[in-house]
Amino acid sequence: MRILVTGAAGLVGRALVARGAGTMLAATRADGDVTDPTVRERLLDRHLPDAVIFCAAFTAVDRAGDRGESDRAWAVNVTAPGEWARRVPTWWLSSNFVYSTPGPHGPSERPSPVGAYATQKAAGEDSVLRNGGHVCRVGWVYGPRGKTFGSTLVQRLVAGETVSAIADVLVQPTLSTHLAASLMQLPVGISHHIGCETASWFGFALAVQARVGRGRVVPVRLVDLRLPTPRPRDARLTPATLPGWRAGVDELLRGEASAGRL
Ligand SMILES: NC(=O)c1ccc[n+]([C@@H]2O[C@H](COP(=O)([O-])OP(=O)(O)OC[C@H]3O[C@@H](n4cnc5c(N)ncnc54)[C@H](OP(=O)(O)O)[C@@H]3O)[C@@H](O)[C@H]2O)c1
């Protein structure tokens, strides 16, 4: 089966391409803007995929509603996934942030988005499903060299820094390689792909610090970060079937060590 991954240079896209070597075909930003129908048709003609895992997205949560950014964000987060789904069997990644009420949330529970990014992800779900595509909800993904808390944490601790970590939000950290393996099953309809162990980022960071043996971790409250966009305090998903974050951290640190970054 030929699977085309858009957003293939991003955190999840990279993991999919690495995991599915030989099966996964990669489209990165350098191959064009996926919101452009001409680019879409060129990619489909070139790769002739049986399926697409659509990872291209505007993921800067706090900028998705900004004037000057929101049209671009809506185009890639809502309009384009629907158009791709109409054209080719498409699996699109949504977010646990579509929920603002306390979790855990099952796949059939209606989204309750708050803020521009969450609203775009909920609208993206509708757009994809209406056009015959499939929705894979994920959350709190970390992996090597990503733009996520989990990924930068290791490097900052190794450098001996003090890292602040949120202590009053429930998270289900999910390693990108574990997520990739799950997404490659291409489940139909709406599915959840999330690690089976719950923590706070503070608890997660303390465990990483204990393994790294350097740096320091201090707790902060969500409210202290004064983030422009509200974050859900408990957007846990169920069923949580992917490996837990303790195993994930071990795997991440082994990878960092073998790459000479530890
Ligand atoms: N990471 C998480 O914790 C998390 C949590 C919940 C949901 N998700 C969802 O999972 C999916 C993948 O996330 P990710 O963490 O892998 O994101 P990411 O690291 O930000 O990667 C997204 C990729 O898409 C590319 N892209 C953006 N707009 C594009 C466009 N118009 N045309 C072509 N390429 C474009 C980006 O390129 P540039 O860098 O050049 O913009 C980037 O390489 C997203 O739908 C996200 O909402 C992720």
Say what the pLDDT of residue 258 is. Answer: 83
Residues 95, 106: Cα–Cα separation, whole Å? 13
CB of 43 closer than 6 angstroms to any ligand 1 atom: no
Q: Are 72 and 97 within one domain?
A: yes
The pLDDT tens digits for 118-140 are 999 999 999 999 999 999 999 99
Residue of the CA atom closest to atom 43 of ligand 1: 10
Q: Which atom of ligand 1 approaches the CA of 59 most closely?
A: 20
Is there an atom of ligand 1 within 6 Å of 171 CB? no
Ligand 1 atom 30 nearest Cα = 33
Is-contact 96 106, C-beta < 8 A?
Answer: no
26 and 106 assigned to the same domain: yes
Q: Are residues 84 and 148 in the same domain?
A: no
The share of the chain scoring above pLDDT 70, in percent, equals 99
Indicate whether 217 and 233 sit together in one domain.
yes
CA of 65 to the centre of ligand 1 (A): 16
- Kindly state whether residues 66 and 180 are assigned to the same domain: yes
Same domain, 121 and 164: no
Q: Is 166 in the pocket of ligand 1 (CB under 6 A)?
A: no
Q: Residues with catalytic annotation?
A: 117
What spacing in Å lies between the alpha carbon of 100 and ligand 1's midpoint?
21
184 and 165 in a common domain = no
User: Ligand 1 within 6 A of 140 CB?
Assistant: yes
The domain that contains 68 carries what CATH number? 3.40.50.720
115: tokens are: 């803020």
Residue-wise pLDDT tens digits, 197-219: 999 999 999 999 999 999 999 99
The domain tally of the chain equals 2
User: Residue 43: in which H helix or E strand, if any?
Assistant: helix 37-47
Local structure of residue 76 (DSSP, 8 states): I
Residues 249 and 128 in one domain: no
Residues 72 and 153 in one domain: no
Clarify whether residues 182 and 235 are in a common domain: no
Q: Separation of 184 CA from ligand 1 center, angstroms?
A: 17
- Phi and psi dihedrals of 202, rounded to 5? -65, -45
Residue minimizing CA distance to atom 17 of ligand 1: 10
Question: What's the whole-model pTM score?
Answer: 0.97
Residue 251, domain CATH:
3.90.25.10
Alpha-carbon gap, residue 247 to 260, rounded angstroms:
20
pLDDT one-digit tens code per residue, 44-72: 999 999 999 999 999 999 999 999 999 99
pLDDT for residue 146: 64
In terms of domains, do 90 and 187 share one? yes
Q: Which domain holds residue 221?
A: 142-172+196-258
| Contact present, 212 and 262 (Cβ < 8 Å) | yes
Whether residues 93 and 181 fall in one domain:
yes
Decide if pLDDT at 82 tops 70: yes
